Structure 1
Amino acid sequence: MRSPSTSFVAPGGRRRRRLLAATGLVAALALTATACGGSDEDTANGDPGAAASASGAADGGDKLQIPADLSDRLKEHGIDVDDWKDGGWKDWDKDKWLSEAKDFVNPVIEGLWKPERMMSAQEADKTMSVKDASAVQDVSDPEPAPVEAEAERTPYHENAAPVGKIFFDSPEGSMVCSGTVIKDVNHPGKSNLVWTAGHCVHAGAGGGWYRNIAFVPAYNDYGRSEADLTNANPQEIAPYGNWWADWAATSNGWIDGGSESGGAGAAYDYAVLHVKPEQGAKSLEETVGAALDVDFSAPAAAEAGQMGAWGYPAAPPYNGLKMFKCLDEPGRLSLDASLPTMYRIGCTMTGGSSGGGWFRVVDGETKLVSNTSIGPLDNTWLAGPQLGQDAQALYENMSETYGGQ
């Protein structure tokens, strides 16, 4: 679900970018992911904060209990968890579309995301119109030349294991985004954190949290066609299983300013999920065998060097079944003089690639530095937020408060 936009050309016209050799970044991301051994997930303690939100199942067992304070809040909205799991989540009445940061609820509905339901999920057709472009032309760099997206090598678990596909339900139906397994500084080797875009979890101003959010690492591991997936082994589609978001956090900038057109929230369009498996006890990082650090240094575009964007584009000419990547040197995109600038690279990926991680090599290590947020209607470039102190605070709060869940 990438929000496309009406593109504009900054003064000087279209800038031709030198296509860099892919060897360094691609080789660094080619992480062989062998499932590791380990103990059960840590038991968490800590209370929900303002930026992150809790969810869980009401039936106990190995599933999380909904915290009492959130359960009371749900009752205030007239929501019964059991009714929710029986289909009540399909009620998108404005009064029941929970929107505040602490209102997120996502109880596991085991078996909901069957392979055929995953394949039917669509990218959202959203547009962003760049208004008052003349006011930011002196800040934005010239529009980059398109970079043709390249299919990732299969199997994905050997070449880009931390990358996966995010599924969720919205008032418009089942939708898709992309995401990345990231490390948890407070739980080394046992992370359950996924990085994605804010608009993949929350509709922004005037809207609320999306529902039934699940992450599937290395989705369609062997890049099978739609016809081949009809009778595919479930392990080929979801080699590491389905992981439900039981906690979620996105920026106040996105919640307050995000819109179907990107809006003022685009520069803050990032989110962190804490996930748990439908079945099993090992952490996401142990199961996948790989996770990436996040680089919060927000380097200037001119100093960032080569970046690569990974994701599962779903709008034509793609169908959301295969993983693609683009490599380019970033430039600056300013949507408003009062907002932080965004990174922009040439890339032909379409809707569905939203939330997919942008990576760069720092001291020989591949790190996540941004995520896909917006792009033009003609699918020639992508833009993503710079991850600075606010993004780091969001991540640290998630790690410290909920990481051990």
Structure 2
Amino acid sequence: MRSIRTSAPRRRGRRGVVAATGLVAALALTATACGGSGEDKASGKPEATTSQAADNDTGEVRIPSDIADRLKEHGVDVDKWKEGGWKDWDKDKWLREAKDFVNPVIEGLWKPERMMSAKEADKRITTKDASADQGVSDPEPAPVTAQAEKTPYHRNAAPVGKVFFDSPEGPSVCSGTVIKDVNHPGKSNLVWTAGHCVHAGGNGGWYRNLVFVPAYNDYGKSEADLSNANPTEIAPYGNWWADWAATSNGWIKGGSETGGAGAAYDYAVLHVKPEQGSKSLEETVGAALDVDFSAPSAAEAGKMGAWGYPAAPPYNGLKMFKCLDTPGRLSLSSSLPTMYRIGCTMTGGSSGGGWFRVLNGKTVLVSNTSIGPTDNTWLAGPQLGRDAEALYQSMSKNYGGQ
């Protein structure tokens, strides 16, 4: 698949999470709840590159002067950005370097109807592409039919949500997961997703208006039921804008429409802030997951589960689905790291969604959805090793406390 490329009051905290006694149960449920906000409180080789944008303490959108100066060097009028200047996708002005990322809050841009119109960011590869493996791939897995997650998601699933952004093709969507911030325990504002959900790769630049919506459509309502939905039904914890983003140089340089050489490095971390409110993301949703950077081999990893919001037919992007399978190896080239591959029928829109496994009795994020085939029978995700950990640590240390 193409890596399957593929604001509201906070009302609910994550309720106490049942201790998992079996693998499926453990993968289906989030790790220890950390306490929510509002009415319900929880009971019971590529070098990492980082980019930034920022607001001042008053909530008024400000772009740091050094970034503003660089944008102007690229011919971008910063003052007009929020008034629609971001819609200019002139290739000469499509900012691609890490230092050029900018994502000022445009309050009210991501309304429910605009979210529902977003198309999947989908990366598909052909059978021929997938077989160019130099003999190190395992046999193609049997398809695993994606299962709908139980509702409400904030009680039954890991802290997964949808990542919305604007691309030259229009409003687009991926999936993402709230992860812990090791340097700011209990107050994480970090989200894990795919690199192709934030940056176009070798032939483009940073996407715009990046927003994370945790537990999107928490009760799994139908399109008809959501036709007159208020923002809290769609976004129970509000909209969280990325004020910093980081992905790998491997994706920035090698990513393509089918994943390309960047697929093995197709991961990203967002640092987010609420469109409204002041509490951290982890405090607001009541949960976050650790990331496993040990990069276990497929044989060592055990069963994995992939979660996300598939949006391409036969799905419509409104509901969360999951697949559980034992991973095999996928190699796109002998010069690239091996990827994990599992059977799964999720389609575009699930890109960036977390892959989880149980490690030492708790659920951890071990990969994310990156690519899949045109017939939607399996998914593949990158191994997260030292390079991914360096990217994560950089985000946490430099921006996590802001």
By the TM > 0.5 criterion, same fold?
A: yes
Task: Give, in whole Å, the separation in 1 of the partners of 2:73 and 2:110.
Answer: 29
Relative to structure 1, the CA distance from residue 50 to residue 307 in structure 2 (aligned partners, 3 Å threshold; closer, same or farther) is: closer
The number of aligned residues is 378
Output the TM-score relative to the length of structure 1.
0.89
The answer on 1:297 being equivalent to 2:297 is: no
8 Å CA contact 1:154–1:223 kept in 2: the answer is yes
Deviation at 1:261, TM superposition (A): 1.4
Q: Percent identity?
A: 80
Cα deviation, 1:153-173, whole Å, max 9, x if unaligned, reads: 000111125100000000011
Letter in 2 for 1:53: S
Which stretches of structure 1, 4 residues or longer, exceed 6 Å deviation after superposition? Answer: none
Contact 1:28 1:365 in 2 (8 A): no
Residue equivalent to 1:165:
162
In the alignment, what sits opposite 2:54?
A: 56
Shift of 1:62: 2.3
Q: Which segment drifts farther, 62-71 or 382-391?
A: 62-71
Matches within 5 A, 1:5-404: 23-29=24-30, 34-36=35-37, 51-57=49-55, 61-63=58-60, 65-129=62-126, 136-160=133-157, 162-404=159-401
User: What do residues 216-239 of structure 1 show as CA deviations (whole Å, max 9, x unaligned)?
Assistant: 000001000011011223212100
Q: Which moved more, 1:346-355 or 1:136-145?
A: 136-145
Structure 1, unmatched stretches of 5+, are: 6-20, 38-48
Work out whether residues 148 and 326 of structure 1, in 8 Å CA contact, stay in contact via their aligned partners in 2. Answer: yes
In the alignment, residue 54 of structure 1 is paired with which amino acid?
A: Q
Structure 1 contact 2–350 (Cα < 8 Å) conserved: no
- Is the 8 Å Cα contact of residues 49 and 249 (structure 2) preserved in structure 1? yes
Where does residue 3 of structure 1 map in the other structure?
Answer: 3
- Provide the alpha-carbon RMSD of the alignment: 2.1
TM-score (norm 2): 0.90
- How far did residue 80 of structure 1 move? 2.6
> Counterpart of 1:16?
none
How far apart are the structure 2 equivalents of 1:388 and 1:144? 24
Deviation readout 1:23-54 (Å, 9 max, x if unpaired) = 343454376675148xxxxxxxxxxx971111
Counterpart residue number, 1:8: none
Amino acid corresponding to residue 359 of structure 2 in structure 1? V
Q: Distance in 1 between matches of 2:130 and 2:138?
A: 12
In 2 relative to 1, CA 223–365 (structure 1 residues): closer, same or farther, beyond 3 Å? Answer: same
Contact 2:48 2:387 in 1 (8 A): no
Q: Distance in 1 between matches of 2:315 and 2:174?
A: 13
- Structure 2 residue ranges without an equivalent (≥5): 6-21, 39-46
Distance (whole Å) between structure 1 residues aligned to residue 85 and residue 302 of structure 2: 48
